[in-house]
Structure 1
Amino acid sequence: MATTLFAKKLAETAQQQYLLYKRMDEGDEQLCRQIRKYYRDLGFPFASCVAVPWSAVFISWCVLKAGATSAEFRFSASHSRFVYAAIENAAADTGVFRARQLTDYAPKIGDIIQNNRGGSVFDYEYARVHKDYPSHSAIVVEVGEDSSGKYLLTIGGNESDSVRMKEIRLDRNGRIKNRTVNPFILIIETLK
């Protein structure tokens, strides 16, 4: 399936934030000012750049700036909330953001990868029946292949206290190779 204009814009939005802030820490005034903007643009109350996790706000802001509406995406300061909505969409075969199992789906540019954090080992089934649990998400900005095989690159907020890029290795079918520490939970497919 070809990358949609929305998915390209979502990846570009994340990439622009990465290029602007990758060398800054959340405590630096310039990045802190931008974090406040993420909250303000979403209509969320702002508390702190340092004491409160802002990674889900980063994802929500990028999705908003790419052109999604609140009817399409559950903007939230908690990853598990927009993931829960995507799981509901997948179950009902509706909506433009749908959760996919890691073993059944090869991620593409503009998709959102959810993983555990803090040593948790939640899986898709857990996410299907729970709205609140600690997790993290990042936006797929590149899918490719190198001498080591297939990979994808993601950009997320509040990764090591900044906007960071990470590499995730894929199997020969383009599916995520899971890991033992903070394993991946699911993929939100972007259909918009």
Structure 2
Amino acid sequence: MGAGAGAPVGVRHEAGGVRCFGAAGPFPHTSALADAAVAGALGEARVLVVDEAQRLPVPCLEYLQSLWDDPGTRITLVLCGSGSERALARLPQLASRVGGWQEVPRLAAAEVAAVVTGFHPLWRTVAAPDLTWIDQSCAHGTFRMWAALTAHLQNALLTTADAAVDRALLRRLFRRVVPPL
């Protein structure tokens, strides 16, 4: 959906209050002014990515549609998440604006090493057989799982003086990212 890409835009919390990237001054606390600030920040060509879109209630989807329909915004709207098509089915007027659907399948075993080493340099320090073991033991070709493992591994290496990327550490991290059955 949309018209191009630009610099990131979003909302962040900081000491002086909430700020909208791309907007001057603090983020407004009234809905009309907040809507205007968001629309103004989306006046440049931007990509608005919404992860876990399948969890959005109809009012949130309606708000995204209003941003899309606003003649002052120039956004490409990317809705991500397994089941997003079912969420859009609850709002046919937004679903009718979809320019294309893309399914991202699991990584094939032969793709894992190239993809994860390209994703983050940390994985370049891990031998290919260990990457295969990680994928078979935990990630199962799911990029989201690799991203979670990356974050946990980075944290472990930064917070533990003598931490090394070995199978013992990786097994502990697996328990953090895989729900207990």
**TM-score in terms of structure 1 length:** 0.22
Structure with bigger RCO (C-alpha 8 Å, 6+ apart)? 1
- Higher strand proportion (structure 1 or 2): 1
- Higher helix proportion (structure 1 or 2): 2
